[in-house]
Amino acid sequence: MASYGGYSRTTYGATGGGDGGGFMGGSQSGSQSAKPVSEESLRPVTVKQIIDAEQAFGSDGTFRIDGADVAQVTFVGMVRQISPQTTNITYRLDDGTGIVEVKQWLDPDKQEQDGDSKSAAFREEQYVRVWGRLKSFGNKRHVGAHVIKPVTDFNEVNYHLLEATYVHLFFTRGGVATGGGGGGGDGNAAEDDSMFVENNDAAFLRGASARAKKMYNYLNQSKSNEGTNLHVIAKDTGMTVQDVMAAAEELLGNGKIYTTLDDETFAILEGF
C-alpha cells in the first residue's frame, strides 16, 4: 500500500463511469497497459497541482508532482460547465486553485440499454469528488474520470484540502516528525497520526456484499501487478461471471480495485 509516513486514505462511497480505468469503460480502455501496483497509487491533489504537474516524454509521458510519479488522482471541485458529447461528458471543475476539465466516458452498451444516457448526472454549481487518471491531449491537460460522485457534506471539501496539503508536505518536507516531545524524529510522518491513519478495509468488508467480499479477498491474496481476468476470478472463486461483474462494479465504486490490461482484468488499488 502506498503510505505517506503511516497515513492512509479514507474511503468514500462512490458511483460513476470510467476512462479506461473504470469497469466497462469508454473507448480508450483497450489501450491501457499493465503497470506495477506502486505506480497505480491514488494521490489526493488540488487542481493547481494537476496544472503544474511535470510531464516527461511528450503527451504519453509520466506525470510527476513534488518529484513523485503520479497516475491516478482524486480531488474535489465545483462544476462550472457541462459539455455532453457523443462519447463522453466533459465537466469543467473549479476547486479554488484552478480549473481543469474532467472527461467521463460513456459506455456504448449502457447507452443502448438506457436510450439517451448522454445527459449529465450532475449540475452546475454542484460540488463533486473525482477519481481519475491524468491525461494530456493536444498540449491540453485533463482528467479521465474513473468515478465521479456528488459531495453531500461540505466538510469533505475542507478535509480534502487538508489531505492534499498533508501529502504535499510529506513529499516536499518529509512529513511531520515522530512524537516524543523533543522533535527528535527521523523526518518521517508520525506512525500514530490519528488525524489521518485509518484502516478502512475491515469497515468496508463488513458492509460489502458476499460476492464483493469474495472477489476482494481473492484479489488481495493474489497481489498480481497485471491483475486477474474476470473469467479466472469466476473459475477460482466458484462465482458466475455475472456475479464477478456485479462485485467488480461494487469494488470499483468504493475505490478498492482498478482495471489493468483491459476492462475485464482487475487488481487491488494500493492507494487507500
Q: Which domain holds residue 214?
A: 199-272
Kindly state whether residues 43 and 158 are assigned to the same domain. Answer: yes
As a whole number of angstroms, the distance between CA 142 and CA 139 comes to 10
Give 241-250 pLDDT, tens digit per residue. Answer: 999 999 988 8
pLDDT digits (tens, 9 = 90+) for 133-179: 998 887 788 999 989 999 999 889 989 998 998 888 888 887 554 44
Tell me if 264 is assigned to some domain. Answer: yes
Give the model's pLDDT for residue 136: 84
Residues 237 and 108 in one domain: no
Is 118 a member of any domain? yes
182 found inside a domain: no
What is the pLDDT averaged over residues 92-97? Answer: 92
How far apart, in whole angstroms, are the C-alpha atoms of residue 50 and residue 237? 39
CATH of the domain at 252: 1.10.10.10
Name the residue with higher pLDDT: 37 or 217.
217
DSSP state of 9: P
151 and 221 part of one domain: no
Instruction: Clarify whether residues 72 and 116 are in a common domain.
Output: yes
Q: Are residues 128 and 37 in the same domain?
A: yes
Q: What band does 256 get if pLDDT is binned at 50, 70 and 90?
A: confident
- Which of residues 149, 170, 191 is at a domain's end? 170
Whether residues 146 and 222 share a domain: the answer is: no
Res 272 pLDDT > 60: no
**Alpha carbons 237 and 244: distance in angstroms, whole number:** 9
> Averaged over 9-27, what is the pLDDT?
40
Q: Identify the three-state secondary structure at position 73.
A: strand
Is residue 42 domain-resident?
A: yes
258 in a structural domain: yes
The sign of the dihedral angle between the CA atoms of 106, 157, 154, 176 is positive
In a domain, 206, yes or no: yes
Question: Would you say 125 and 82 are in contact if contact means Cβ atoms under 8 Å apart?
Answer: no
Residues 52 and 165 in one domain: yes
Looking at residue 201, what is its pLDDT?
A: 65
**136 falls within a domain:** yes
User: Percent of the chain, pLDDT > 90?
Assistant: 29
Is the whole-model pTM more than 0.75? no
Which CATH number characterizes residue 71's domain? Answer: 2.40.50.140
Whether residues 204 and 245 share a domain: the answer is yes
The number of folded domains in the chain is: 2
Q: 259 and 130: one domain?
A: no
In this predicted model, what pLDDT tens digit does every residue of 109-140 receive, in sequence order? 665 555 555 567 889 999 999 999 998 887 78
Tell me, yes or no, whether 160 and 225 share the same domain: no
Residues 97, 211, single domain; the answer is no
Residues 154 and 252 occupy one common structural domain: no
Whether the per-residue pLDDT at 82 is higher than 90: the answer is yes
| 165, three cell numbers | 496539503
What is the reported pLDDT for 175? 54
CA distance 126 to 53: 26
